[in-house]
Amino acid sequence: MNKLDIEEIVRKEIVDTVLKTQEFIVAGNWKMNKTKQEVKSFLKDIKDYDFGSKNTVIVTPPSPYLYLFEEELRYSSVLYGVQNVFPKESGAYTGEVSIDMAKDFGCKYAIVGHSERRSLFGECNEFASKKVRILLQNNITPILCIGENLEQRKQGDYKQFLVTQIVEGLARIGEEDIKKVIIAYEPIWAIGTGETASPDQVEELHVFLRSFLVERYGEHIGKDVPLLYGGSVKPANVKQLALAQSVSGFLIGGASLDAQSFIKINDILNGN
C-alpha cells in the first residue's frame, strides 16, 4: 500500500470517529415557509425516523404550526422551538408571540437576533439581550445569532463586530446562565446565497470565538457554550464543516425544509 492510500485510510478513520462520537446540535430554521399540508407531510416523514440519541435535533417552524409539532412530536426525540419571541409577558404587542405561548406548545428553544430580524425589523443587540434574559428565566434555550455582512468581512474589522454582538447580546446574564445559551455564527453573506463559508473560514472563526468566550467568561463557561455554524449548510457540505474545530452543530435554513435532506444531514452527523 502506498503512503497516500494509508493517509486516506487514516483520514477516513478520523472522520468516522468524529462523526460517530461528537455530539452535534442540528437545528432547522424554517423561516416563513410551508403550508399546513406541507408541515404535516414533513412531520409524517420525520416522526418515526430514528435520529439516534447522540445529537440534539431541533426544528423551528413558523409559530402558527407549533400545535402540529406538539401533536405529532410528543413521543419523538425531535425538539422544537420558535423563531422569535417578544420579551414581555403579555399585553398590547400586536403580532408578537410571548414566551408563555411558546411554552404552552412545548417549545424548548428560541432563535434570537437572527440577521433577518436585525436587518428587516431593526432589532439590536440590546433587544436581543432582553429576549435572552427572559428566555433563560423561563427555561427556554436561546439560540443567539451573530454574523457579519459582506462589507464588514471585506473591511476586515468584523471580528470585533461579532464580539460586540456576543457581549451585548449576553449583557446582564449570570455566568452560570451563559452556559445555557447557544451561539450561532451565521455570516450574512452565506445565508440563502448558496455560498458557504469554507471549512477553513468556519474553523478559523469558530476557534477565534471559542478563544474569546474562554478569555471573557473563563474556561469552565467559555469552553461549554455551543457554537453553531449557519449559512447554506446542506448534505453536500455538512461533513467537511462538521470536522472544523470548535463547531458544535448547525443552524440550517433551506436544507431543513425538505424532510429527506434534513434526515440526510442528520445521518451524516451520526456517521452513517
Q: Which residues are catalytic?
A: 114, 186
Distance CA 165, CA 149 (A): 13
- Measure the N-to-C terminal CA separation of the chain; round to a whole number of Å: 26
Among 102, 252, 265, 269, binds ligand 13P (CB under 6 A): 252
Contact pattern from residue 183 through residue 212 relative to ligand 13P, giving x for each residue in contact according to CB under 6 A and a dash for the rest: ---x----xx--------------------
How many alpha carbons fall within 13 Å on the CB side of residue 174? Answer: 5
Calculate ∠ Cα 170-175-179, nearest 5°. 75
Q: Write the single-letter amino acid at 220.
A: H
Taking the complex as a whole, the smallest distance from the CB of residue 112 to ligand 13P amounts, in Å, to 11
Binding to ligand 13P in span 30-59, by CB under 6 A: none
Q: 170, 144 in Cβ contact below 8 A?
A: yes
The candidate with the shortest Cα–Cα distance to 115, out of 82, 139, 83, 86, is: 83
Q: How far is CA 79 from the centre of its chain?
A: 13
Q: For residue 223, give the 3-state DSSP assignment.
A: coil
Among 72, 253, 262, 265, binds ligand 13P (CB under 6 A): 253
Counting contacts by CB under 6 A, is residue 230 touching ligand 13P?
yes
- The three cell numbers locating residue 215: 478569555
Q: Which stretch binds ligand 13P (CB under 6 A): 14-22, 97-105, 216-224, 252-260?
A: 252-260
Q: Where are the alpha helices (DSSP H) in 73-198?
A: 99-104, 115-121, 125-137, 150-155, 158-169, 175-178
Distance CA 257, CA 208 (A): 31
Taking the complex as a whole, the smallest distance from the CB of residue 219 to ligand 13P amounts, in Å, to 29
Q: 170, 178 in Cβ contact below 8 A?
A: yes
Counting contacts by CB under 6 A, is residue 249 touching ligand 13P?
no
> 84 or 129: whose CB is closer to ligand 13P?
84
Counting contacts by CB under 6 A, is residue 233 touching ligand 13P?
yes
> 19 or 233: whose CB is closer to ligand 13P?
233
> 25 or 222: whose CB is closer to ligand 13P?
25
Counting contacts by CB under 6 A, is residue 254 touching ligand 13P?
yes
Counting contacts by CB under 6 A, is residue 238 touching ligand 13P?
no
Among 43, 227, 251, 268, binds ligand 13P (CB under 6 A): 251
Taking the complex as a whole, the smallest distance from the CB of residue 39 to ligand 13P amounts, in Å, to 18
Residue nearest to ligand 13P (CB): 253
Applying CB under 6 A, the residues found at the interface with ligand 13P are: 29, 114, 186, 191-192, 230-233, 251-255
